[in-house]
Amino acid sequence: MNKTLRIGTRGSALAMAQTGWVAEQLEQAGYRTELVQVTTPGDRSMAPIAEIGVGVFTSALREALADDEVDVAVHSYKDLPTAPDPRLSLAAVPVREDPRDALVARDGLTLGELPPGSLVGTGSPRRASQLRALGLGLEVRDIRGNVDTRMRKVTDGELDAVVLARAGLARVGRLAVITETLDPLQMLPAPAQGALAVECRVADVDTEHLLQSVLDDEASRVAVAAERAMLAALEAGCNAPVGALAEVVEDLDADGRVAQRLFVRGVVATDDGELLRASVTGETTAAEQLGRDLAAQLLDARAALLSGPGQ
């Protein structure tokens, strides 16, 4: 193929960095690329995400792709709504960055070293509920804005710490500001955190094939499929914040042989701020079913809790 691939991107530093990375992979494989900047309502508004809704960062890019203004759209996978867009194909899930959340705290402090009453900023209900559940007496403050805006609240002394996706910091070359990478036992990331979704038009099979062959990473795709299936099943049953992490691990199969298995952990907060946690392990080929099984366990646990004392 000798045409130039028009790759749509948001204008934020994070979006430019990740789209630039995708373009570079394609260039190295011998394709010509051109970046096309698309402004989304999410970039224009400073209102809380909860008010402006899911898909604020991704829908304008998807429209530009569907309207043939660009040939490829690069999204942070976790920002995509779970409902598929029938006009588009998820051509590639490139190799995932470290999916964990990261703490950026004053004076190099870790979570455990922050004194009770410390102010910790996050705009994410998932992060807020998991922070509160640690029982450390941390005061969670709602914040928004790009990576730099959020980190400045710590350097300016307005907050003691903020929690961000490690992957976002990695992509903009700011890993050095992290004072602790949070263990998923304490803080499960958002489903698909650290992964990119690379889309093209469903009818554009040439582009679909080249994106898949140059960019797709099987292990990342499988893990994200499990996490997103869990999220989709939970969204149908409740609207509580959800964390999930699927990892390909070495495990013994029924015959005692070492095999690759998928280990999926999930967390959902109740209205009272209690956390329900569960995990499943199974075949990597059954990723989506594993995600749905995990969601069913969490919904059962929630139903048992809601049916009150004595149950």
Ligand X SMILES: NCc1[nH]cc(CCC(=O)O)c1CC(=O)O
**Residue numbers of the site for ligand X (CB under 6 A)?**
76, 78-79, 164-165, 167-168, 193-194
Three-state DSSP class for residue 238: coil
Instruction: Output 14 or 238, the one with its CB closest to ligand X.
Output: 14
CB of residue 190 vs ligand X: minimum separation in angstroms? 7
CB of residue 261 vs ligand X: minimum separation in angstroms? 24
CB of residue 112 vs ligand X: minimum separation in angstroms? 21
Tell me which residues are annotated as active site.
79
> 240, 237, 238, 223: which is closest to 290 by C-alpha?
223
Which residue pairs from 232-239 have beta carbons closer than 8 angstroms and sit at least 24 positions apart in sequence? Answer: 232/82, 232/291, 233/291, 233/292, 233/295, 233/296, 233/299, 234/266, 234/268, 234/295, 234/298, 234/299, 235/82, 237/295, 237/299, 237/302, 238/268, 238/299, 238/302
CB of residue 177 vs ligand X: minimum separation in angstroms? 12
Distance CA 218, CA 212 (A): 10
- CB within 8 Å of 218: residues ≥ 6 apart: none
Instruction: Output 161 or 164, the one with its CB closest to ligand X.
Output: 164
Instruction: Output 55 or 194, the one with its CB closest to ligand X.
Output: 194
Q: Which residue's Cβ has the minimum distance to ligand X?
A: 168
Instruction: Output 220 or 302, the one with its CB closest to ligand X.
Output: 220
CB of residue 121 vs ligand X: minimum separation in angstroms? 11
Distance CA 44, CA 103 (A): 26
Instruction: Output 78 or 302, the one with its CB closest to ligand X.
Output: 78
Q: Which DSSP string do the residues of 141-157 spell out, in sequence order?
A: E---S-HHHHHHHHHTT
Distance CA 175, CA 22 (A): 20
